[in-house]
Structures are given as structure tokens and as C-alpha cells.
């Protein structure tokens, strides 16, 4: 068993003052340089000897990377370096995106969330990332910057595998954009860990539902899972089922089974694949029933 190093290995530290400055520093050294947003995953990996960057570029002091802004028509913009606590305690996020708040408050401890960022959580690309499922069902997009300019990428296209993203060499995540939620939307994030606070997800499930006259059920649903596949995933087949038939205990049960069948969990020190699979079914069913009760209660 490899023990963590007692201290961080040496590296060159650069503090970027602007996005342009960060890209200039990154320059031709992208292969040996890592970006620092929160550092709560980066420094752990460095101490464990999993990575050894020659340089680190700190983006936390770039003003626009720390912004949290809600615009009436376009939605919420979260700078990549905004901390989880800053996002979860922002009045516009609390009022309009309670599902995101619910998920963020399951991450580690309050103290760690004062440093950890949503941007870092996404770029770390852990299958267990708690910010990913709510942002997937809220259909977030990412603004990625490079010397060639800015490109927009849907979050469901960003994750490529454990620790792997669609970021190109020399490219950095600048912000996350979350559209205005549909009218009447209700949501739940359920997370199963080994303890009640601070643990990585054994299974994470995010569900939203909202009224819509077009589908047969009168509602639309979105479902996303974490920690049960190589990347966080949506479950479109279960979503379509819930929209195409009357919303009932039977349809919810069938949708939960679909989610269970789509999941591809592994066994590790925290849980077996069989246990994770069973819990996908249970948590998806639980979250769907909670959302159903909220929707029907307002109807």
C-alpha cells in the first residue's frame, strides 16, 4: 500500500490575474502544468504521488472566475473558481436552484466547501462528483477558454472517463451556465455514503420533474446518476417512459429498474457492484416518488 507523501512535491506557482494572463502562462507548458481552482482534489493527488506537475496556475484571484450571476432570461452563470459555499449560500441560487444547493451541501465538510469549487469538482471528472448529477438534469453548459477563443460545451459531452474530460491541451474551464429552470420544476438529490456527512457517494441520484401538457403523463422528467458508471450519466430511456405513460407507482418502479439496468457500477473498498446496483433502483424510486408528491401536491 502506497502511503501519501508527508508534504507536497516541489512545483512552480503562478497566480493569474486574468484569463488572458492564465492562458499566456499556460502557453506551451500545458502538458506539465495544472490549473488550481480549489485544490481539494489536486493537492491530495499530488501528495499521493498520482500526479507531479511542474507548475500550477492559480485561477482563484481572477474576478470573473468568482462571479455568481443570475440573469432573468439566460439563467445562472457560475465562475469556475466560485466556491461551493459561495454558490450554495447565494440568494439567487437558493431561490431558483434548490436542487443544486441540496447536492452541494452533501460534499465533504463546510470547511472544505469554503475552498472547493464546482469547476474543480467537474474538471476532476470523478464518477462520484456530487455537482454533476444536478447540473446534468439542469442541462448546464460550460464555457471553455483557449488561445483560439471560447467554446461552449454541454456538460453531458464533457466527461470522457474517470479523471478524463473533453478539455483540450491549453484549454481552461471559465464558467458554468445553468438555464432558467422550467416553470413548476421540483427536484431531489439523494446520496448514499458510508456515513451521513462528508463521504464520497456510493450512489448519487438527481431527479427533476415539471408539468408539461405535451407528454401523455402531463410531466417531463430528467434523471442523472453518479458513482455507478465511468462517468456521471443521464437516463433518457427512463425519462421517456415516465413521460409516455400515466404517472403511477408502476411507471416509477419501471423507470427505477431502467436506471438500475443502465448503471454499470464497480466493486471497490466502499461498496460492491451488486450493492450499488440495488441502491440505484432504491434511490431512483425514492427520488421519483418524492418529486411526484411535490408535483401532485401543487397540481
DSSP output for 202-213? SEEEEEEEEE-S
Q: How many residues does the chain have?
A: 299
Give the global pTM: 0.95
Q: What is the pLDDT of residues 109-137, one digit of tens each?
A: 889 999 999 999 999 999 999 999 999 99
Whole-number mean pLDDT of the chain?
A: 94
What is the predicted pLDDT for the residue at 18?
96
Rounded alpha-carbon distances, angstroms, from residue 5 to 10, 24, 61, 241, 258: 12, 31, 28, 50, 43
Question: What count of other Cβ atoms lies within 10 Å of the Cβ of residue 36?
Answer: 20
CA–CA distance, 210 with 182 (Å, rounded to integer):
7
CA–CA distance, 57 with 35 (Å, rounded to integer):
5
CA–CA distance, 144 with 69 (Å, rounded to integer):
18
Q: What is the pLDDT of residues 59-88, one digit of tens each?
A: 999 999 999 999 999 999 999 999 999 999
What is the predicted pLDDT for the residue at 3?
60
- The per-residue DSSP string of 143-194 comes to EEEETTEEEEEEGGGTEEETTEESPPTT-EEEEEEEPPPPTT-EEEEEEE-S
Q: What is the pLDDT of residues 190-249, one digit of tens each?
A: 999 887 666 789 999 999 999 999 999 999 999 999 999 999 999 999 999 999 999 999
What is the predicted pLDDT for the residue at 5?
59
b/e per residue 215-241 (b: at least 16 CB within 10 A): bebebbbbbbbbbbbebbbbbeebbeb
What is the predicted pLDDT for the residue at 108?
86
Mean pLDDT of 164-186: 97
Residue 213 has which C-alpha cell? 401538457
Amino acid at each position: 500500500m502506497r502511503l501519501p507523501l508527508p508534504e507536497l512535491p516541489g512545483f512552480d506557482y503562478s497566480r493569474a490575474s486574468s484569463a488572458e494572463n492564465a492562458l499566456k502562462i499556460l502557453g506551451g507548458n500545458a502538458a506539465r502544468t495544472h490549473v488550481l481552482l480549489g485544490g481539494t482534489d489536486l493537492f491530495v493527488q499530488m501528495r499521493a504521488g498520482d500526479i507531479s506537475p511542474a507548475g500550477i496556475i492559480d485561477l482563484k484571484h481572477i474576478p470573473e472566475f468568482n462571479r455568481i450571476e443570475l440573469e432573468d432570461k439566460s439563467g445562472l452563470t457560475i465562475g469556475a473558481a466560485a466556491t461551493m459555499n459561495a454558490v450554495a449560500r447565494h440568494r439567487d441560487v437558493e431561490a431558483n436552484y434548490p436542487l443544486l444547493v441540496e447536492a452541494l451541501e452533501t460534499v465533504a465538510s463546510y470547511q472544505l466547501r469554503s475552498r472547493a469549487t464546482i469547476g474543480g469538482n467537474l474538471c476532476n471528472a470523478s464518477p462520484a462528483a456530487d455537482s454533476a448529477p444536478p447540473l446534468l438534469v439542469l442541462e448546464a453548459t460550460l464555457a471553455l477558454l483557449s488561445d483560439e477563443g471560447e467554446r461552449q460545451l454541454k456538460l453531458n459531452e464533457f466527461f470522457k472517463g474517470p479523471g478524463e474530460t473533453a478539455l483540450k491541451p491549453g484549454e481552461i474551464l471559465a464558467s458554468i451556465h445553468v438555464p432558467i429552470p422550467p416553470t413548476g420544476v421540483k427536484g431531489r438529490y439523494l446520496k448514499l455514503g458510508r456515513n451521513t456527512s462528508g463521504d464520497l457517494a456510493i450512489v448519487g441520484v438527481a431527479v427533476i420533474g415539471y408539468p408539461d401538457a405535451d407528454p401523455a403523463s402531463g410531466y417531463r422528467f430528467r434523471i442523472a446518476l453518479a458513482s455507478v458508471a465511468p462517468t456521471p450519466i443521464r437516463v433518457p430511456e427512463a425519462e421517456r417512459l415516465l413521460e409516455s405513460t400515466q404517472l403511477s407507482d408502476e411507471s416509477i418502479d419501471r423507470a427505477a429498474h431502467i436506471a438500475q439496468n443502465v448503471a454499470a457500477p464497480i466493486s471497490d473498498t466502499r461498496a460492491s457492484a451488486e450493492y450499488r446496483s440495488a441502491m440505484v433502483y432504491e434511490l431512483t424510486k425514492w427520488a421519483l416518488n418524492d418529486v411526484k408528491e411535490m408535483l401532485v401536491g401543487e397540481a
